[in-house]
Amino acid sequence: MGTTMFRAAVVISFVALAFAAEPARGEDVWKPLADELKSANPGLLAKRKMAESLRISAPARMAWEDPMLEAGLMSVPLDTLRLDQEEMTQKTIGVSQMIPSLSKRQAQKKFVEAEAVVADAEAGMAERELLAGLKKNVYELHYLDMSLETLARNQTILDEMIIISNAKYASGRGAQTAVIQAQLERTKLEEKKLALAEKRGIVRVKINRLLNRAPNAEFSIPAGAITEPSAPAFGGVWEKARTNSPMAKVASAEMAKAQTMVERERGEAGLDMTFTAEYAQRDDTPMERPDLVSFRAAVKIPLWRAEKQDRYVASATKDAESASDRRDEALAKVRGEVEEAALTAVKEAETIKLYNTGILPQAAQALASARAAYQLDRVDFLTLLMSEQTLIEYELMAEEARMRLRSVLADIEYITGAAIDDGGAR
């Protein structure tokens, strides 16, 4: 009797505390894990390094082409192969330098810089997605821990019920079937605990994989990371999502990249020039022959521009228009996902409130009443057992609802790119 009443008091106290406490902001709590994720996750590191490699290579697009060194022989007679027989025989050495047009080089540099921005945006989206996954796994780990604690508490109560059933059976006031049924229910609780323990191990492996830790390493949930969840006000969430959403950032970066591709194709029609300097040495014949110096300049003529460059520009322009449409589609998708997640969050918050204020206290009182009535032989053991099972299920369902709300808030943070609390987006 005392244990059950204590348990009901704990439930009611927990409900009051949950509604009195203000949820703490969790950026600082999660920062150590977030920093570890950024520095240790191999997939994320690969994306960051790809963006860095593009940024490093962008200035190289402004450089000239490497010069060409040339050497050769000119006008050597085939009959004698002598270098001092013919007037025009020369030994030459020269250097040529091709200089791409400035507009072409600038456009290529902008294009690579835009590629780096896209890679950065993709890395940011991956980081947000991984952090949301990490949070959801931590929330599930907490749910499993709480569920195991709930089963352990109820196992203790069931042991007390077995003792009572044995005592009543020994005194002739109870049936042996009640003892057997109680023992069977205890065995079922053990089975549930084994299943939850297995699932907990799997979730721990997932967390360690995200953090690039050893799969079987122990993981402790940071203090303050788990707070009583509540649906935020969602004021300003969409405005934040328009600019901060990882998906919108990637789409915007892709659109900017497509626009620089148009500039790049236009730059291809620029006038590339090549300059050549050459020195020719001639051997003396019976008469002295001076050495020669030559200078040449060449320029590319875009003779087939209408058939080639203009078509490339038109194609790149259409791709830029397509990228703009894809950006609009991404924004629409983000808005839809935000609205859906907000509805889910509100529903889960109301579900938790319903459990805290009504279902759990009433189930605890029903169990206390059934236990008292059973001791006085006013109800049978099956009624008492059903009351206990009902409370267990409600406690597990309430904890699962908390996990779902925490998880959907983590999803909203990923979708919007903004931290979410009871005050809305920030």
Lowest-confidence region among 40-44, 179-183, 330-334: 179-183
Residue 215 in domain: yes
Residue 244: CB partners within 8 Å, gap ≥ 6?
416, 417, 418
Residue 113 in domain: yes
Residue range of the domain that includes 190: 2-64+100-269+305-425
For 338-392, what is each residue's pLDDT tens digit? 888 888 988 999 999 999 989 989 988 888 888 788 777 777 777 877 888 888 8
Q: What is the pLDDT of residue 302?
A: 82
The most confident of the ranges 62-66, 204-208, 239-243, 308-312 is: 204-208
Residue 71 in domain: no
For 25-74, what is each residue's pLDDT tens digit? 445 788 898 888 998 999 999 999 999 999 999 999 888 888 999 999 88
Q: What is the pLDDT of residue 250?
A: 92
Share of the chain above pLDDT 70, in %: 86
Residue 92 in domain: no
Residue 78 in domain: no
Residue 124 in domain: yes
Q: What is the pLDDT of residue 235?
A: 65
Q: How many CA atoms lie within 13 A of 369 on its CB side?
A: 8
Is 400's pLDDT higher than 80? yes
Query: What CATH number is attached to the domain comprising 153?
Result: 1.20.1600.10
Residue 261 in domain: yes
The span from the CA of 159 to the CA of 41, in Å, is: 46
| Tally of structural domains, the chain | 1
Query: Does the predicted TM-score (pTM) go above 0.85?
Result: no
Q: What is the pLDDT of residue 422?
A: 41
pLDDT band at 20 (very low <50, low <70, confident <90, very high): very low
Taking a C-beta distance cutoff of 8 angstroms, is the pair 269, 362 a contact? Answer: no
Residue 80 in domain: no
